[in-house]
A and B are shown apart, each in its own frame.
Chain A
Amino acid sequence: QTVVTQEPSFSVSPGGTVTLTCGLSSDSVSSSYYPSWYQQTPGQAPRTLIYNTNTRSSGVPDRFSGSILGNKAALTITGAQADDECDYYCVLYMRSGISVFGGGTKVTVL
């Protein structure tokens, strides 16, 4: 059973920088897993931030960036704002055709 790991929660100060990570229980994450990142506020559909490791979706500000850091995918938010407070999910594409989401990270801005 493939498990995609994310930090359950993270706090960041307004204007600060936070890096969320997305790992695999059984392997190192590389760009070949096509990591993508999504933002979701309660009661709303997910919004795509980053796909294919580091490609920013249309309309997403450049203070959101994706990368590979060590053996994990990473989403970095710089200049955190109050409306960045929500849930963030990553997804990895497995070579067998399936995709697996991480459990999500709840970001608090305070």
Chain B
Amino acid sequence: EVQLLESGGGLVQPGGSLRLSCAGSGFTFSNYAMNWVRQAPGKGLEWVSSISGTGGSTYYADSVKGRFTISRDNPTNTLYLQMNSLRAEDTAVYYCAKRSGITVSNTSPADWGQGTLVTVSS
């Protein structure tokens, strides 16, 4: 059974940094592209970033480009999201999602974690 467990969320001041982690199990981690999707309180889903199975290709939404960095450590089956220069509008539940194939292209999110809440406030 695929399991994705996010951690690292919390309260941070505007301008601060936070690193989210997502531990994957129940599948061959390196064989799947991964992504982060967020949902602000009372709002819809927003794609944030994707990374290929090898880690060689990364993509970002314009709203986070230059501030967030996605990475992965395949030997430990862990996905990361380094978030810098955080703003109030980054407040959301952040979901880790496994895509349906090894590449980002021509695939889509297929399995989801339960999410971790990030609150940016002074």
Interface string of B87-118 (1 = CB under 8 A from A): 00000000100001000111111111111000
CB-based contact B112/A101 at 8 Å = no
A93 contacts partner chain B, Cβ-Cβ < 8 Å: yes
Q: Tell whether, in the assembled complex, residue B35 and residue A48 are in contact, meaning their CB atoms are under 8 Å apart.
A: no
A61 CB within 8 Å of chain B? no
Could you tell me how many residues of chain B have their Cβ less than 8 Å away from some Cβ of chain A?
Answer: 25
Interface bin, chain A: 20 to 34
**Shortest distance between the CB of B79 and any CB in chain A (Å):** 15
Is A91 at the interface (CB under 8 A from chain B)? Answer: yes
- By the criterion CB–CB under 8 Å, are A91 and B100 in contact? no
- B110 interface neighbour in A40, A48, A99, Cβ under 8 Å: A48
Q: Are A45 and B59 in contact (CB under 8 A)?
A: no
CA distance A34 to B115 in the complex (A): 24
Whether A98 and B111, one on each chain, are in contact in the complex, defined by CB atoms closer than 8 angstroms, is no
- Assuming the contacts A45-B95, A46-B95, A99-B50, asked whether A52 and B112 have C-beta atoms less than 8 A apart, the reply is no
Q: Which residue of B lies closest to A100 (CB)?
A: B47
A93 engages B95 (CB within 8 Å): no
Can you list, as one digit per residue, whether each of B29-50 has a CB less than 8 Å from chain A (1) or not (0)? 0000001010000001111001
Could you list 28 examples of A-B contacts with CB < 8 Å? Answer: A34-B107, A34-B108, A35-B108, A36-B109, A38-B45, A45-B112, A45-B114, A45-B115, A46-B37, A48-B109, A48-B110, A48-B111, A48-B112, A51-B108, A89-B44, A91-B45, A93-B105, A95-B105, A97-B57, A97-B105, A98-B50, A98-B61, A99-B35, A99-B47, A99-B50, A99-B108, A101-B47, A104-B45
Which A residues lie at the B interface, using CB under 8 A?
34-36, 38, 40, 45-48, 51-52, 57, 87, 89, 91, 93, 95-104
Give chain B's interface residues, CB within 8 Å of chain A.
35, 37, 44-47, 50, 57, 59-61, 95, 100, 104-115
